């Protein structure tokens, strides 16, 4: 039986300077994952993030996710994807998590 992991990425809808992220940038990230894994899912609801790094911070995000076979190559791909997304979306951090998935 194959082992699967779900990789979830929260992408910002605004750059750190408050300007909107172009929809094309989000489409590009989604397409990149679809091209690599054959499938990707995204949620259209806005996720409202709030935290206190140095005062109160707010961010509106969307979630995209991929279920992929667990492997060192897939893990390395997502580390690279995160580095590139931080640049593309002009962020100091991109929240990317993974967890095991049991496909029944």
- Tell me the pLDDT tens digit for each residue of 2-21: 899 999 999 999 998 889 99
pTM above 0.85, yes or no: yes
- Tell me the pLDDT tens digit for each residue of 22-79: 999 999 999 999 999 999 999 989 988 877 766 667 789 999 999 999 999 999 999 9
Task: Determine the pLDDT at residue 60.
Answer: 92
- Residues 100/8, Cβ–Cβ less than 8 Å: no
Complete domains list, the chain, with CATH: 4-101 (3.30.70.120)
Task: Determine the pLDDT at residue 55.
Answer: 63
Round to whole Å and give the CA distance between 97 and 79: 10
Burial category of 95 from C-beta neighbours within 10 Å (exposed 0-12, middle 13-18, buried 19 and up): middle
Task: Determine the pLDDT at residue 16.
Answer: 84
What are the structure tokens assigned to 32, written together? 């990149």
- Residues 7/96, Cβ–Cβ less than 8 Å: yes
């Amino acid at each position: 039986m194959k082992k699967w992991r779900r990789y979830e990425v929260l992408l910002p809808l605004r750059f750190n300077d408050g300007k909107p992220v172009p929809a094309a940038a989000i489409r590009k990230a989604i397409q990149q994952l679809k091209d690599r894994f054959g499938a990707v899912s995204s949620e259209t609801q806005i996720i409202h993030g709030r935290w206190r790094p140095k005062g109160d911070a707010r961010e509106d995000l969307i979630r995209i996710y991929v279920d992929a076979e667990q492997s060192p190559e897939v893990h390395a791909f997502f580390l690279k994807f995160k580095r590139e997304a931080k640049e593309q979306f002009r962020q100091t951090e991109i929240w990317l998590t993974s967890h095991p998935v049991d496909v029944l």
